[in-house]
Structure 1
Amino acid sequence: MKIWLNGAMADARDVRIDPADRGFLLGDGLFETMLALHGHILFADEHMLRLGAATDLIGLPLPCSLAEIEMACADLLDENELDEAPRASLRVTVTRGPAPRGLALPAAPKPTVLITCAAIGEAPMRMSLVTATPRRNPWSPSSRLKALPYLDNLLAKEEAREKGADDALLLDTNGNIACTSAANIFLWEGDRLVTPSTNCGILPGITRAALFELAPEIGIELREEEIAPAQLARISGAFVTNSLVGIVPVTNIDGRDIPAHPMTARLAAAYELLLDAAEEED
């Protein structure tokens, strides 16, 4: 498997990450995960803009341009013969690079940029959720970033697995619904669609943003709100979204069956048309 590291293509078995890299030692870094369909990287510009905004926010200077990273992603698919794969994932990881011990930011950082890719299977048809113990912290800057520290997420995911669910439902520290371990969540209240506000410690997803543009075009009212768990007893449907799975209906939350809302299928169909159009433009 070929990878792209700091401007060069190489075999994954031959590369080396510096043991003093702050991404490994401190989780001091960011990442983006993107879906490629037959070599077309979906929402590539949006992912790069989010990465650029995040690096600016944490003061992490990129050693190359976002355009160069985007081009390297396409080249990496070609190198791994995934340019015609039905579905492939790309991950761009950026760290502050190797530095002396301690928490203080290095005066002259030498960031690490790593890009990897892999073929992936189809997205799940449905998903069950269970409320997990970890909480999202709305006051943490990293809650709104695709930041490397994912310990809370993976512990929540494992807790859900142990309880027989597909994924975890996370609340924020105020007790409101936030997200799943790796996806945004949407809830139907009749024909009205709601999703947790960015005030709830969520990562504003790329697919989430696409739905805010798409929903009004097909007559769906979509709002972001602070959603108390008690509202789950009144919902008429639910689904989750992220860049790799798209839109996946939720069929059960905390042991309660969630009905299939007819508008979820309509929204998913419109989203697939959006992706098809993006492929044709490539």
Structure 2
Amino acid sequence: MIGWLNGSLLDGTRHALSVSDRGFLLGDGLYETIRVTNGEAAHLERHLARLAHGAAVIGLPLPAVDVAAAVAAVITANALQAGSLRLTITRGSGPRGLLPPDAPDPTLLITAFPTSPQAAAAHVIVASRTRRNEHSPLAGIKSTNCLDNIIARLEARDCGADDALLLNTAGRIAEASAANVFALIGGVWLTPPVAEGALPGITRARILETGGREASLTVDDLLNADEIVLTSSLGIRAVKALAGKDLPANGPGASRLARVLFG
């Protein structure tokens, strides 16, 4: 696949980052995963707004680049009608140590991916090896430092599960390793508030705009829910089992929600 790196379209095998890039060395960066449908980046303005917010949180200057034009160029170069893009921005190269240079030169990389097969309903556990720190500014942004998420997903794999839910420091549900979580309770789709450690997901926001609500949720709340789904910009995945308890999978609520959001 053809990607975009700092102003140039490049074959996927030729992308090269500096050995002093802070994104590689320190996880000093942000990313967005963007769905491509009918040859267009879905909800691009929302993704760029979230990227700008994250950049402001960590004090990362965004490059003076027409990102929308770069995204369109990658889609065109790959003749990508359906799939996804990953937009990654780092603070660029810097000296040894934690403090960045006074005038950083950010790295911007856009990579393209074909459509992945539809994932089957998920068997999910509750992560025990790590928790989401809802008090950290990183909890609300798409940081390239995903080690908590990786630890949770490894635990899920070791348990023979597909994903893991992360609790926050108060023991309430925050999110899944790479998705928001919604529970259908009393006919309403409920999801943890951002203040509980949930990422402000793009699909999450769309569900809230169509009648979903924020609510603090516990593991017991989910175990007693009518349905549970994991949501991301790439789609909706039903949950068929949580912590060893079977749940209704691909129920009418999840199917209806998927049709409303993704057609």
TM-score w.r.t. length of structure 2: 0.94
CA-to-partner distance for each residue in 1:67-107, whole Å, 9 max, x for gaps? Answer: x112111111221232x3xx311011000000111111211
2:186 paired residue among 164, 186, 190: 190
Q: What is the CA distance between 1:230 and its match in structure 2?
A: 2.2
Pairing 1:98–2:88 present: no
Equivalent position of 1:181 in the other structure: 177
CA-to-partner distance for each residue in 1:38-70, whole Å, 9 max, x for gaps? Answer: 3111111110111111112211111224xx112
Count of aligned pairs: 261
What value does the CA root-mean-square deviation take over the aligned residues?
Answer: 1.4
Q: What is the CA distance between 1:148 and its match in structure 2?
A: 0.5
Pairing 1:53–2:53 present: yes
CA-to-partner distance for each residue in 1:213-234, whole Å, 9 max, x for gaps? Answer: 12x3xxxxx2212112222332
- Distance in 1 of aligned mates of 2:83 and 2:222: 34
Native 8 Å contact 2:121 2:240 kept in 1: yes
Higher helix share: 1
Equivalent position of 1:271 in the other structure: 261
SS at match of 1:31: strand
- Distance in 1 of aligned mates of 2:101 and 2:148: 27
Q: How does 1:192-211 map to 2 (within 5 A)?
A: 192-211=188-207
- Distance in 2 of aligned mates of 1:125 and 1:213: 26
Equivalent position of 2:242 in the other structure: 253
- Distance in 2 of aligned mates of 1:24 and 1:117: 19
CA-to-partner distance for each residue in 1:12-51, whole Å, 9 max, x for gaps? Answer: 3333211111111111000000010231111111101111
SS at match of 2:84: strand
Q: How does 1:71-90 map to 2 (within 5 A)?
A: 71-82=69-80, 84=81, 87-90=82-85
Give identity over the alignment, percent.
43
Equivalent position of 2:216 in the other structure: 226
- Distance in 1 of aligned mates of 2:182 and 2:222: 11
Pairing 1:165–2:146 present: no
Equivalent position of 1:16 in the other structure: 16
Equivalent position of 1:62 in the other structure: 62
Q: What is the CA distance between 1:201 and its match in structure 2?
A: 1.2
Native 8 Å contact 2:30 2:88 kept in 1: yes
SS at match of 1:136: coil
Q: What is the CA distance between 1:168 and its match in structure 2?
A: 0.8
List 4+ stretches of structure 1 deviating above 6 A.
none
Unaligned runs of 5+ in 1: 217-221, 274-282
Q: What is the one-letter code of the residue matched to 1:148?
A: T
1:116 paired residue among 87, 111, 114: 111
Mean Cα deviation higher: 118-127 or 3-12: 118-127
Q: What is the CA distance between 1:154 and its match in structure 2?
A: 1.3
- Distance in 2 of aligned mates of 1:2 and 1:270: 32
Equivalent position of 1:154 in the other structure: 150
Mean Cα deviation higher: 228-237 or 98-107: 228-237
Q: What is the CA distance between 1:159 and its match in structure 2?
A: 1.0
- Distance in 1 of aligned mates of 2:56 and 2:221: 37
Q: What is the one-letter code of the residue matched to 1:118?
A: F
Q: What is the CA distance between 1:158 and its match in structure 2?
A: 1.5
